[in-house]
Structure 1
Amino acid sequence: MPDGRQLADRVLDAVNDHDLARLSWCYDRHAVLSTPLGVCEGREQIVRYWESLFKGFADLAVTVWNRMECADPVFSEWTMTGTHTGPFTLPDGGVAGASGRRITLRGCGACQTRKGLVASHRNYFDLLELYSQLGFSLVAG
């Protein structure tokens, strides 16, 4: 059974390989993924979240540059990069068409395990920074 760090590494490798099947195997069927883009409950919703990111950013990559291990969870600081080349689902359900813009987003996350699978995965990043890099503007309306 993998420990927290090994499991976090498996998730990272599957994300960077855009391997949805491997990602699915990492998460408990009742796992919860929380991000500024929304909350996914259950393995199927989590896989759909990653699939949406991969469709929107065909070259999406995550680089971990700091990791702190407690017994559980494992905390990581990372940089996510990619080019917005496809449809990207927004938190309100709308879809942003490809902008061709490159993103570089710093964030951090916590991955908590149960019985060798991810039970809770929380990623934090600045949604306004992402929107700005995609060329969105804030307009009072």
Structure 2
Amino acid sequence: MSAYWDLKHQLADAVNAHDLPRVLACYSPDAVYVSPPGVAEGLEQIAWLHKQVLVGFPDFHMTAWFELGDCENPAVTEWTYTGTHTGPFLLPDGREIAGTGRRITVRATCTTHVANAKITSHREYYDQLELYSQLGFGLVELDRVPA
């Protein structure tokens, strides 16, 4: 594998070790991180998004089960995320939910673009409904718009 994959593996190892300084060392200062909870631009915002996951799921772990071997830049990986929701977790609408004690197993994929030996763009995708259902939340009826 190439230096692109080496960097992606370093990032995964740092996330699994919950080592935020090592996570941030993988990114360029102006990197963009796109995920279901939102878009983070720059190291400060990227750190904040990673911290939200690690606080909400103190045993969070990513397991790669497929890497697109003939594609280097972007490096594409499919994952399984696991963890126990014991800490506060911020929802996209700004509400925070207390730990539920529930275990999660969520399928995910991501693409990582690299330039000058740093991640410049990281796009992560997972099904939020799958996550929220495992946390004990279901679909709710949307507010009706008056006719």
TM-score, normalised via structure 2 length: 0.92
Deviation at 1:83, TM superposition (A): 0.2
Per-residue deviation, residues 95-116 of structure 1 (Å, max 9, x unmatched) = 1110000000001100100100
Per-residue deviation, residues 79-137 of structure 1 (Å, max 9, x unmatched) = 00000000011111111110000000001100100100000001111010001000112
1:42 matched to 2:42? yes
Given that 2:5 and 2:72 are in contact with CA atoms closer than 8 Å, whether structure 1 keeps it comes out as no
Deviation at 1:17, TM superposition (A): 0.1
- Matched residue pairs, number? 140
2:93 partner SS: coil
Q: Which amino acid aligns with 1:43?
A: L
Q: Which amino acid aligns with 2:78?
A: E
Q: Structure 1 stretches of 5 or more lacking a match?
A: none
Q: Which amino acid aligns with 2:91?
A: L
Q: Which amino acid aligns with 1:108?
A: T
Name the residue aligned to 2:96.
95
Q: Where does structure 1 differ by over 6 angstroms across 4 or more consecutive aligned residues?
A: none
The structure that has the greater radius of gyration is 2
Q: Structure 2 stretches of 5 or more lacking a match?
A: none
Within 1, Cα distance between the matches of 2:107 and 2:140? 25
